[in-house]
Structure 1
Amino acid sequence: MEDGLYSDVLQFRRRGRCCRPGVQMALLGLVTAMLWAGLLTLLLLWHWDTVQGLKRLEDIAALNVSQVSKDLERHRGDQMAQKSQAAQMLQNVEEIQVEQKRMKTQGLELSQNLDGLQEGLSNLKSQGLNERRTALNALERLWEEVAKLWIELRVSNGSMCNTCPEKWVNFQRKCYYFGEGAKRWIQARYACSELQGRLVSIHNQEEQDFLAKYINKKGSWIGLRDLNTEGEFVWMDENPLDYSNWRPGEPNNGDQGEDCVMMLGSGQWNDAFCNSYLDGWVCDRLATC
């Protein structure tokens, strides 16, 4: 029995050795085929996935292109709208500039007209003031003439017309006040007005000699000036310069602007600056009966 078993094993080994190369080749072919099949399957899967990815990319690209096209169209539309708005704004700016130029021209014309009106009004006001001043001066002279006539009438009837206020000095039916205290010419004028008189007007030698006795030795303002026209001296009573007592060489309008007249301590006259301060000033007014 052992011999038979040994024979079977030997026979099997012989068979195995005889069939082994074919089986190996078959197995190798099968494995190779399976590998190629797997690789092909992988390639097919990769190709299909690639195709799907490309399709998705195409769809996305198409969508993006569409969106970009829409955005571009919208941007172009916005640009056109902005250009239109810019053109409109430019037109508006040009219209505003034209309107500004027109308003500026109109403003200049109005300013010129206003200046003309103001100048005319100033001239009218000046003219009115001059006419009023002339009328007041004429009325004042008329009242003074009436007062003089009244005094003459009273004197002819035997009245004594030599009454003056306190601290005033009488001479030839007039009263004189010899003021003291540093004043400019205009201040002296107002001081006489407050005393119901005016800066003295001198018309004859007798009056001049009387005043020279009482005049302040440092000089006093009198009512003579050429403020309106240089060289044309006028008294405060508006009468012409029918008498004078100028110091030699005067009036000389020294340094330009000596428009008011003072009486020196010697009694002689000198033109001086109206803003100068003098210690004396002389007022006059009519005496009462």
Structure 2
Amino acid sequence: MEEHAYSVEFPKFPRRRRQCCQRGTLLALLGLVTTAMWAGLLTLLLLWHWETVQKLKQLEKTAAQNDLETVQKLKQLEKTAAQNVSQVSKDLERHKGEQVAQESQAAKMSQSMEKIQDEQNRMKSQDSELSRNLNGLREDLSDLQSQGLNERRAALHTLDRLQEEVAKLWIELRVSNGSTCNTCPDDWVHFQKKCYYFGEGPKRWIQARFACSKLHGRLVSIHSQEEQDFLTRHANKKGSWIGLRDLNIEGEFVWMDQNPLDYSNWQPGEPNNGGQGEDCVMMRASGHWNDAFCGSYLDGWVCDRLVTC
């Protein structure tokens, strides 16, 4: 049996027709998509509008509540302000009264201050007068004290001289009666009617004077060439302080025993009060005298005192 191949042939549409169908389909799909997008967008807009309306309603409600609270607060503030204004008015009136009282008090205080100032000026005037009187009294007292001290010093010097003269007369009386009057303390040297102590060790003039006082003597007073020769032989060869000075009046030299300067043995050209002022007298190794600065240190100093019988 022969087999015959049967083939079914479909009608063939032209190519241009197929392309038109495809384009229509695409346009339809695009329209659907566009419609869907617009529908979604419209839905979103409606939702947004609804939410916005809800929020606006909520805001209006909240605003109404806030307005009510604000009105209440404003009313409360107005009430408080009115009370404060009333209180301030009262305080202002009270302060005005106090200010008037203070002004009156200030006027009284000003008058009192003027009186006090007048009194102070009067007291200052009296104080100035009292100060002048007091200064005058002080000057008078100082003059009296100075005069009293000078008189006392002069009296003491006179008393010392009288005591020394009495002692000398007593010695002469004892000698005339056959007594031997040549006794001196240990370490003292006898010459004529006096005892001499030749001190050694660096001292200023005032220190030498006090040292002699402790030994119950005084810095030596020289009244003759014989006494000077004796002292020259025994005194320190580096120089010694003696009891001559012009501390009170420049150029007016005075002995410690208050006797006048009846003998002198000045070095040629001395005294010259040279340097920083020379008011005390020293004896050189040669025996000559020289005025020197009282604060200088000398290795020797000579004391004298009367002998005892």
Same fold per superposition (TM over 0.5): yes
For each residue in 1:228-265, what CA deviation from the matched residue of structure 2 results, as whole angstroms up to 9, or x when unmatched?
Answer: 11100010111111111111111001135211111111
Does residue 241 in structure 1 map to residue 261 in structure 2? yes
Select which of 227, 231, 235 maps to 2:247: 227
Does residue 89 in structure 1 map to residue 109 in structure 2? yes
For each residue in 1:83-125, what CA deviation from the matched residue of structure 2 results, as whole angstroms up to 9, or x when unmatched?
Answer: 1111122222223333333333333333333333333222222
Assess, with a 3 A threshold, how the Cα gap between structure 1 residues 96 and 155 changes in structure 2: closer, same or farther. same
Q: Which residue of 2 aligns with 1:167?
A: 187
Q: Which residue of 2 aligns with 1:198?
A: 218
Q: Distance in 2 between matches of 1:227 and 1:65?
A: 93
Assess, with a 3 A threshold, how the Cα gap between structure 1 residues 64 and 138 changes in structure 2: closer, same or farther. closer
Aligned CA RMSD, in angstroms, stands at 2.5
Q: CA deviation at 1:66?
A: 9.1
Q: Distance in 2 between matches of 1:106 and 1:273?
A: 50
The more displaced of 93-102 and 248-257 is 93-102
Q: CA deviation at 1:68?
A: 7.8
Select which of 188, 193, 197 maps to 2:208: 188
Amino acid in the other structure paired with 2:158:
A
Q: Distance in 2 between matches of 1:66 and 1:157?
A: 126
Q: Which residue of 2 aligns with 1:142?
A: 162
Assess, with a 3 A threshold, how the Cα gap between structure 1 residues 129 and 64 changes in structure 2: closer, same or farther. closer
Q: TM-score, normalised by structure 2?
A: 0.68
Alignment of 1:1-289 (within 5 A): 74-289=94-309
**5+ unaligned residues in a row in structure 2: which ranges?**
1-77
Q: CA deviation at 1:69?
A: 7.4
The more displaced of 161-170 and 75-84 is 75-84
**Secondary structure in structure 1 of the residue aligned to 2:143:** helix
**Secondary structure in structure 2 of the residue aligned to 1:213:** helix
Amino acid in the other structure paired with 1:182:
P
Q: CA deviation at 1:198?
A: 0.7
Q: Which residue of 2 aligns with 1:19?
A: none
Q: CA deviation at 1:275?
A: 1.4
For each residue in 1:196-227, what CA deviation from the matched residue of structure 2 results, as whole angstroms up to 9, or x when unmatched?
Answer: 11111001111111100111111111110111
**5+ unaligned residues in a row in structure 1: which ranges?**
1-56
Q: Distance in 2 between matches of 1:64 and 1:145?
A: 110
Q: Which residue of 2 aligns with 1:32?
A: none
**Secondary structure in structure 2 of the residue aligned to 1:203:** coil
Assess, with a 3 A threshold, how the Cα gap between structure 1 residues 247 and 74 changes in structure 2: closer, same or farther. same
Assess, with a 3 A threshold, how the Cα gap between structure 1 residues 65 and 274 changes in structure 2: closer, same or farther. closer
Q: CA deviation at 1:129?
A: 1.8
Amino acid in the other structure paired with 2:222:
I
Q: CA deviation at 1:271?
A: 0.6
For each residue in 1:146-181, what CA deviation from the matched residue of structure 2 results, as whole angstroms up to 9, or x when unmatched?
Answer: 111111122222222111111111111110001111
Q: Distance in 2 between matches of 1:67 and 1:281?
A: 101
Number of matched residues?
Answer: 230
Q: Distance in 1 between matches of 2:211 and 2:98?
A: 85
Amino acid in the other structure paired with 2:195:
C
Q: TM-score, normalised by structure 1?
A: 0.72
**Secondary structure in structure 2 of the residue aligned to 1:164:** coil
Q: CA deviation at 1:79?
A: 2.5
Amino acid in the other structure paired with 2:200:
E
**Secondary structure in structure 2 of the residue aligned to 1:196:** coil
